Structures are given as C-alpha cells and as structure tokens.
Amino acid sequence: GEDVEQSLFLSVREGDSSVINCTYTDSSSTYLYWYKQEPGAGLQLLTYIFSNMDMKQDQRLTVLLNKKDKHLSLRIADTQTGDSAIYFCAESKRGSYIPTFGRGTSLIVHP
C-alpha cells in the first residue's frame, strides 16, 4: 500500500466543519504536514506537527495526531468557499529532508 493515504474527495456545506483524514505507515515519522493547493497554483504549507505532539491549533485549523494508529487529521472550522482546494498530507522520516506526500483530498465547499 501507499506510505501516506488519504481519501480523494470531501464535500461539505459552507459554515460546517471539515475533517480531512490521513494515515501513514512509518512509525519513525518526525514531522507531519498539511499543504493546500488552490486551482492553478503550487502547494502552500498550512501547518505541520512534530511527532511528539498530539494536537496543534492555529485559528480555524486543528491538527490531531494519533501515533498509535498512525492517523493524522485536519479540521477546518466554519468552512468557507475559499477553503475549496486540494489538501495534501505529508510526512518526513527521521533523518530525511524528503517528505512523502499523499495523493491529496479535494475539498468541495458548497453553499
């Protein structure tokens, strides 16, 4: 299987919370990242979490890390149409500066 797995699509209503999930296989992962890609643009780092943390909050974004299950999630509160994009989960292994990316989750926000 893939090193980093994500579901391909998520559809939510404007104003609701979105939760994008990711699973990874390598227990030696040190950093886990969420990137956002808007149409026609490159990826932009949203946030990252170090592997010794369980949670990180940044305004409307909450990242949860479950190391036991190797599960990472990104919660976007009060989702807006401007949040429509592809969200990539990525992880970097200990001693490596090359991240492994998931295939991305397309978030569609409808009125």
Q: State in angstroms the smallest separation of the CB of 56 from another protein.
A: 12
How many C-alpha atoms does 91 have within 13 Å on its Cβ side?
A: 24
Whichever of 51 and 84 has its CB closer to another protein, that residue is 51
Q: Which residue carries 């209503």 as its tokens?
A: 13
Nearer to another protein, 62 or 101 (CB): 101
Nearer to another protein (CB atom), residue 44 or residue 81: 44
Report the interface residues with another protein, using CB under 8 A: 31, 33, 35, 40-45, 48, 50, 88, 92, 97-99, 101-104
The first and second tokens of residue 75, run together, are 């919660």
For another protein, the closer CB: 5 or 14: 5
State the minimum distance, in angstroms, from the CB of residue 111 to another protein. Answer: 27
Whether 106 contacts 8, CB under 8 Å: yes
The least distance separating another protein from the CB of residue 93, rounded to whole angstroms, comes to 10
Whole-Å CA distances, 98 to 17, 29, 64: 31, 11, 22
Q: How far is the CB of 110 from another protein (least distance, A)?
A: 22
Residues comprising the chain, all counted: 111
Question: 3-state DSSP call for residue 52?
Answer: coil
